[in-house]
Structure 1
Amino acid sequence: MGIFKIEGGHQLKGSIQPQGAKNEALQILCAVLLTPEKVTIKNIPDIVDVNKLITLLGKLGVKVEKLSTSSYSFQADAINLKYLESAEFKQDGRGLRGSIMIVGPLLARFGKGYIPKPGGDKIGRRRLDTHFEGFINLGAKFRYNREEYFYGVEADKLTGTYMLLDEASVTGTANIVMAAVLAEGTTTIYNAACEPYLQQLCKMLNRMGAKISGIGSNLLTIEGVDALGGTEHTMLPDMIEIGSWIGLAAMTKSELTIKNVSWDDLGQIPNVFRKLGISVEKHGDDIHIPAHTDGYEIQSYIDGSILTVSDAPWPGFTPDLLSIILVTATQARGSVLVHQKMFESRLFFVDKLIDMGAKIILCDPHRATVIGHDFKSQLKATTMTSPDIRAGISLLIAALSAKGTSTIHNIEQIDRGYEHIVERLQAIGAKIERLD
C-alpha cells in the first residue's frame, strides 16, 4: 500500500494536459467486443481501472497490441466464452465497476453475457436494474445466483423494441445501446443518458456500421444491423480531471493553463466554477486560471439567497465534481450549499476536511453547507485516508493548499482515476512524493 506525502502551501505554475476520459474509456473498450475486426483507440488513460479492463479483455481472448503510450489496437476475433464461467473471471470482474459493460456486447454478438457483482467506489447503492431490464426488453432471459452474486443474460436472438428507462443511467444506456445495435428491428430508448462520453460511443458505433440516430438527445433510435466492422477512435479529455485542476489552481492561488480541454464538451463545468468566483478564461481550446491572489467570492442568487450547487443528468452538473466544488468552497468568500442527489455516501469524506479546519455543516447524507475561510485561515495538514477516487483527489487538493505536511493513505483509490499524478503535479511545482 502506498501513501502520498504532501507539503502544502506552495503556489503552482505552468500548464497541465488532461488525460483521456476514464468514463468514456470504460464504454469504448467494451465496444471492441462487438466486431471481429481490428479497432484502434487513441488517448487511453494509463490508470488502474482502465488497465484492469484491458487485462480482462485480454483474458477473454481479445488480441491487445500497445501501439504507443496511450494508443492500443484490439481485435476480438477469437473470444474465449469459457472464461466467463471460470473462477478467475468471477474474481477479475468483481474488482472493476466498468466490467458490467461487457455484458451488452457479449449478449448481442454471442447470445450470452455474465458478470459477477462489480466493485468500484464505496459511495452508496449503485444498482444494475436499468441494465438488465433493458436486456430483458430486448428478449434476453435473466438469471441471478444469489450465493455467488453472479448475473447472467442469454438470448437466441434480440429483438428491437421501445423502452422507457427508469433512470438516465450512463452505463445502463451504453450497455443497452451496445446490445441493441445487433438486435433484429428497431430499438427506441427514451430517457437515455446523453453525456458527451455516450455521444462518443454512439458516433464510434456508427462508424463501425451501426445506425443510431438522436445522438445528444434523451431519445435514441437504433436500427439493428447484421454485423459491425473495425474503426479508429480518439477519446475526449477527462472533464472530471479538468474540473479538478480548476479547483486546484483556485485553492493554491496558482496560475495554471489546462491544455486542449474540448470546450464544447464541458457543459456547465466552467459556469459552476465561475459561480464560486473563479476566473475561468477561454484561450483557444485551453482553460487559463489566473492566480487568485485576492481570493474568490461565491455568488448569491438574484434574490440574495445562498447558492446551491447540485448534480443532475447531463446537461446538468456532473456528480463526480461535487467533491471538488465542496473543497474549493472551503477557501472562498461566502457560503454555498452542496447537494449530492445521486449517491448517499459521497459526502462522508467531509469529516477529514473539518479536521483540517474547514467550516462545513453536514446537513444529511446528501447535503453539506460550506462557509468559506476567504484564505484568512489556512487549512491545517493532517493524516487521512482516501475513501474513493473523487474524494481522494479533493483531499489531495486540500493538502496542497494546507499549512504543513499531510499524508494520504489508500492512494490506490486516486490511482484508479488519475494517471501519473505525482509526476504531473511535480512538473507544475507541487511538493508531493509517493512512499511505500
Structure 2
Amino acid sequence: MTTNHNHIGYQARLDFIQSLLRREFSVETDAEVTPIQYEPEFPFRYNNFVYHITLCTPITVGQVRKDVAYQPGCVAVPNGTKELIVRLANPDAEGMHRETRVENEVAIISLAAAALKDFQPYVVPSVYAWGSAAAESSYGWTIQELMPGAPVDEAFPLMDLQQKKQIFAQMAKLLKALQEYQLPETIIAFGGVTFNENGRIVSAAMPTVGKGPWPSYEASFRGRIEEAFWKADANPYIQGWRSNGIRDRLDAFVERGLSAQFKLLETKQDKSIIHADFNPSNLLFDPSTYQITGLIDYDFSSILHPSYEFIRSFTGAGGQFRGWCGEEGGEQAALSEARLHGFPSPLPQSTEGGVNWELAKALEEELEKLDVKRPRTIKGIEKVADVDTVLRTILPWRLSNPDILRRQSEEVIIKCRRQNEEQLLKLLDYLGF
C-alpha cells in the first residue's frame, strides 16, 4: 500500500517543529504537537499542515530569541504563553508559489490586525515568528497565537436563523472594516504583498498565481488568464482549447472584450484587503455568546478590488457571487439577480444542495445595515464576475488538479472535457465572441 502524499514526511514535520521551538523559544522539553483537521488519507494536497502546540512549561520573556520580535509582521510572545499554532506551508500544495507565500500571509495578517483593531474581542491571530518558503531546502512556517473559540462552520447547520444573523452581523462589521482600511502608501498595485528591506509592506506577486503585482484590477485578471492559458497549453487533456476554434475566440475576447467588462466598474482603482476565503470555516466563535473570536487562515489573501471578496468568498454563508452560469444555472442566476436588484417576496423555495434563499437574504440584510460595499452597491460587478467565469472555465479544476485526475478514469476525464468545451462555447456566445 502506498503512503498518501500528505502523510509522506509526517514524522519529519514533527521533528522540524520540535527543533523550531527549541531554536525560537529555547524550549528544552519536547512539546505536545497535535495536528489540526488532518486526515492521513485525505485525497487532495493540503495547502498547509497546521498544529496545536502545548508546551510543557510556559514561555518566559528571557527564553525568546532577541531578534524574533524584530522580524517584520511579528509581535513579542506574551509572557506565560503555553499554547501556540504552528503552520507549515506544504511545498507540494497545488497552485501555491513558494517565493512570497509566507511573507504575503504575514503581511496581510499585519494589515488585517490594524484594520480590525477596534473589533472586540480581538480576532486576528498575532504572529510570533516566521520563516520564508522561498528556499527549496526549508519549510515555510509561521508560529502564531492560538485563538479561542469553536469553528463556526461546525455549529452553523444547527443554529437557528436568528443565531446565524448574529454571525452575519459580525461578518458584516469585519468586512466593512477591511474595506475601509487605508492601505499604506507603499502598496501601489493589485496582487500580493511582502516586506521590503526596511520591513515595510509593499506590493508583490500573488502567491496563488505566482505573477503580479499588476497596475489595475483589470490587469490582474488579464495576467491570471494568461497564466491559465499557459497551463492549459501544457495540459494533455485541454491542449490549450485549440480544437474547434475555441482558442481563437478566447484570444479575441481577451484582446478586444476584456477591457469592456471593466468599464461599468466605476471604482475600479479601489484596493482593499481581500481574505478570499471569508467563510464560516475560517471563523471561530464563543458558543455561549455567539461572539466571533477569530478570523483565521490568510493563505489566499491579497490586495484586490472589494468585489473580489464576493466572487471568491461566502461559501456556506449565502454563496459566492457568480457570473454567467449557463442554462443549467437558473437558480444561481436568480440569486445573482436578487443580490443586484433586491430579493423577491415571497422568497423562492430553497432546495437541498442548491440556493438557501433565507440565508442569502439574511446576509444581504446585515450587509445593508452597515452599508457594506456589496454586489448591489458595486456597479459593474456582474461583468467582472463573468470574467472570473472565463478564468475558471479555461482551467477547470476537474481537468487540471492532479489529485482529482488521478482518481478519475480516462472515460470520465474525456466526458468532463467535452462538457467543459460545451460550456466554453456557450460562454463565448453569451459574451459575443
Confirm or deny a common fold (TM above 0.5): no
Query: More helix by proportion, 1 or 2?
Result: 2
Which is richer in strand? 1
Q: Which of structures 1 and 2 has the larger relative contact order (alpha carbons within 8 angstroms, sep 6+)?
A: 1
> TM-score, normalized by length of structure 1?
0.26
